[in-house]
Structure 1
Amino acid sequence: MTVFQDQPNPSAVLLRAGELVVQNLPVPELGPTDVLVNIKATGICGSDIHYFAHGRNGNIVVKEPLVMGHESSGEIVAIGSAVQSLKPGDRVAVEPGVTCRTCNMCKSGLYNLCPDVAFAATPPVHGTLCRYYKHPEDLCFKLPDNVSYEEGALVEPLSVGLYSIERGNVKVGDRVIIFGAGPVGLLCAAAAKAAGAACVMIADIAPSRLKFAASYYTDVQILLDKPSPNEPNIEYARRTATRILEDYGGYADCVLDCTGVETCVQLAVLLTKNGGAAVLVGLGASIQALPVDEIANRQVDIRGIRRYCNVSTRYSIAEPRSDQCQAAHYTHLYNESSQGSISALQGSKGWCHQDTN
C-alpha cells in the first residue's frame, strides 16, 4: 500500500473500436520488485491507431476495455520493498514488455520472442496511457538530465530502429533504403547513420513527410508514385524498382520496409543487393506475394523483426541531440479528456502528454 492508492488515476481506455474514454482506475499495488511510475509522456504507436480504428491489430483483438499506450517515460514516485536500483524522483524510460524470464528464448537473450510476454496495451494487458503505472524495476531505465520526457518516450520506438539495423547487419559505408518516412522509418534512418551507413535513402508517397525527412538523417528522399489503375502490385514494384535503380545508383546493402504494404515489401526484395538483407519492420497483411525468384537466385535474406531486445539505447541517448524528438512531429496535449486522446489517435502518429501531477 502506498500513499498514492487514494489518488486519482485517469486512464485512456478503449472500450471498442472508435470509442475511447477517460476513466479513473485504481492505482495498482506494488510487489517487492515493482516501481510506480507517474507517466509524463506517451507516444501514439501505429498499433494504438489500429486498435482504436479497427478494434484489432492483425490477429490480436480487443475483447475487453483496454488502457492504451506503450511508448512512455515518467517519474518514479514509489518503490517496492526490494527495489535497489531506483528511488522516488528518478526519471525513467519504460520498456513495456514483461517476459517470463525462464523460457529458452529469454535465457538465450532473445526475450522479444518469449511466448508468454505481457506487452503493454496488447490485449489483455493494460497500457501506459494513465497517470500511475506499475512496472518491474529492471525494465525502467534512468534518463540522463539532458533528455526530456518526450525524448524518453521515444526510447521505445528508437529501440525498434536500432534492432532493425542490427537485424539488417548495417555496417560502416553501407547503402540503406527505407520505405516509409513515418516516425519508425525516421528512427531507422537515425540508427543507420549511427551504425555508419554512408548513404541513407528514404521513400514515401507523402511529400510532406519527405520534406521533413530531408532534415533528419537521410541523404536522399524518393517520392513514390501510386500504382496505375488495375496495375498488379508486382508490376508496379518492378517498374518502380527499375526507376530507383537507374536514378539512385543501384542496389542497397540493406532495405527496410516500415510500411507493411505489399508493394513496398516487394520493392524491398527487388532493391536489395545480391546477398543483402531485406528487413520487414512494418506489419501489414498476413499473406503477401513476394518475388521468390529474386529471393532465391540473388540470395536475398528476408529478416523479420519482433520489436527489439538487448539494444544499447540507454548508452546512446545521453548525447545532447534534441532533434531525436522531432521524429514524432505531430503533437497533441492530453488534458485528461477523451477528446484529446481521440484527436491524437486519429492523427498518423503523435504524443499524448500527461499532466504535471
Structure 2
Amino acid sequence: MAPIENPAIVLRKVGEIDLEVRPVPFIEEPHYVKIAIKATGICGSDIHYYRTGAIGKYVVKSPMVLGHESSGEVVEIGAAVTRVKVGDRVAIEPGVPSRYSDETKEGRYNLCPCMAFAATPPIDGTLLKYYLSPEDFLVKLPGNVSYEEGAAAEPLSVGVHSNKLAEVKFGSKVVVFGAGPIGLLTGAVARAFGASDVIFVDIFDNKLDRARKFGATQVLNSSKLSKASQVQELANKIKEVLGGVLADVVFECSGVDSCIDASVKTVKVGGTMVQIGMGQNYVSFPIAEVSGKEMKLIGCFRYNFGDYRDAVNLIASGKVNVKAMITHRFKFEDAKKAYDFNIAHPGEVVKTIIFGPE
C-alpha cells in the first residue's frame, strides 16, 4: 500500500514551527528517487530563518519545510535510475543546480544562480518523512556509517570544499579562526589532507577543548586579544605558537571583524586565506597587506562536485570523527523543542540531530 501521510516540520512564520502533514511526493522524473528520511541535522541557517525570517535576499514569505542536512533510506526509484536501489542508505546533497547555467557548465554548480537548495526560500527542506532527490545527488552510506553520520556529511562537505580551494597538502601549516561546527570540521579535514599543524583560535575554552578531537595540534584562546587594537598582537601570538613562522593557509570561520583582520596578518607571504564565516556585510579590512603579501583571498560557498562523496569517505575511513560533533539528539515529534533548545543553549550545542520520522 502506498504511504498516505508525509509529516513535516514547517516554519510557518518567524518564531512559529509546526508539525504538518504534507502530500506524499510522487516520482515524476525518471532519474528521481524517493527517500524515507532517517536523520537530519540542525544548521545555523535553520535557526536564523526561525528567529528572523530571512538571510540576505532569501526571505520566508510562505510556510517552508525546514532542514537540509539529511540522510535516509531509498524506498522508491524512477524508471531510469541506475545509481541506487530500494533499500540503499544514502546521504542527500541538498542543492540541485540548473544544467542550463553558465556556472554549472563551467564546473562550479555550487554557484548556479538557479540552485534549488533545500530549506532556502521558497524551496522546502528535508525535515519530513518522504523526500525526492535526483539520483546523482545521493551518496551511498557504507555499512559502518550511521544515519546521523550521514546527515553530518553536509557540513563536512563545506570543510572538504574549503580545503580543496586552499590546496591544503602534506606539511601545510593551517590556522582556523572559530571552533564552531564548520571550523571544527574544516580543521579536521585539513589534518586528514596532511596538514602538519592545525591551530584553532577561539574565545571559548570548551570549544577549544573539543577542537582537540578534530585534528588540533595546538589551540589558542584569544579572548584577551579580541579587541581591534590587539589584532597584531594576536597575529604575533599565533606566529609564536606556529614556531616563529606564519601560516600557509588560514580558514576564517567566525565572520568576526577582528578575526578577519587577524587572518590576513597571520597568512605568510604568498599564502592563502579562505573566508568561510559569514558576519556583517561590510568589515574593516587590511587590503594593503593582501596586495603586499600577494596572498590569495578566496571565498567559499557550500560545496561542489565530489565534495559530498569525499566527505562520506572521510567518515567511513575514520579520518574524520563527526560523532564527536553531535552533542544533542531529539525525536522528530520533538523537533520544535530541538530548535528552541539550540537557541536557548548556544554554549552547549555543537550539532543537534533529529531522528525520524518513523
Settle same-fold status: TM greater than 0.5: yes
State the SS of the aligned residue for 1:325.
Answer: helix
The superposition leaves residues 309-332 of structure 1 with CA deviations (integer Å, 9 ceiling, x where unpaired) of 1223344443146832212x3212
Moved more, 56-65 or 90-99: 56-65
Following superposition, the deviation at residue 184 of structure 1 comes to 0.9
Structure 1 letter corresponding to 2:333? E
Contact 2:192/2:319 (8 A) holds in 1: no
Moved more, 91-100 or 258-267: 258-267
Task: Identify which of 151, 154, 175 aligns with 1:153.
Answer: 151
Q: 1:247 to 1:138 in 2, by over 3 A?
A: closer
- Following superposition of structure 1 onto structure 2, how do residues 109-258 of structure 1 map, counting pairs within 5 Å? 109-225=107-223, 233=228, 235-249=229-243, 250-258=245-253
Q: Is the counterpart of residue 10 in structure 1 residue 7 in structure 2?
A: yes
Moved more, 236-245 or 176-185: 236-245
Moved more, 301-310 or 318-327: 318-327
Contact 1:332/1:340 (8 A) holds in 2: no
State the SS of the aligned residue for 1:214.
Answer: helix
- Partners of 1:100 and 1:159 lie apart in 2 by 20
Following superposition, the deviation at residue 11 of structure 1 comes to 1.2
Query: In the alignment, what sits opposite 2:333?
Result: 336
Following superposition, the deviation at residue 58 of structure 1 comes to 2.9
Deviating above 4 A after TM superposition, structure 1's stretches of 4 or more consecutive aligned residues are none
State the SS of the aligned residue for 1:106.
Answer: helix
Q: Is the counterpart of residue 28 in structure 1 residue 25 in structure 2?
A: yes
Q: Is the counterpart of residue 277 in structure 1 residue 272 in structure 2?
A: yes
TM-score normalised over the length of structure 1: 0.92
Following superposition, the deviation at residue 13 of structure 1 comes to 1.0
- Partners of 2:127 and 2:55 lie apart in 1 by 18
Contact 1:279/1:302 (8 A) holds in 2: yes
Structure 2 letter corresponding to 1:246? E
The superposition leaves residues 161-211 of structure 1 with CA deviations (integer Å, 9 ceiling, x where unpaired) of 011011111121010000111111111111101111000010111111111
State the SS of the aligned residue for 1:141.
Answer: strand
TM-score normalised over the length of structure 2: 0.92
State the SS of the aligned residue for 2:67.
Answer: coil
The superposition leaves residues 244-297 of structure 1 with CA deviations (integer Å, 9 ceiling, x where unpaired) of 223442310000011111111111111000010110011111111110121111
- Partners of 1:321 and 1:163 lie apart in 2 by 16
Structure 1: 5+ residue runs without aligned partners?
none
- Partners of 1:322 and 1:279 lie apart in 2 by 20
Query: In the alignment, what sits opposite 2:356?
Result: 355
- Partners of 1:60 and 1:237 lie apart in 2 by 33
Contact 2:188/2:320 (8 A) holds in 1: no
Kindly report the root-mean-square deviation, in angstroms, between the aligned alpha carbons of the 2 structures.
1.9
State the SS of the aligned residue for 2:251.
Answer: strand
Query: In the alignment, what sits opposite 1:293?
Result: 288
Following superposition, the deviation at residue 302 of structure 1 comes to 0.9
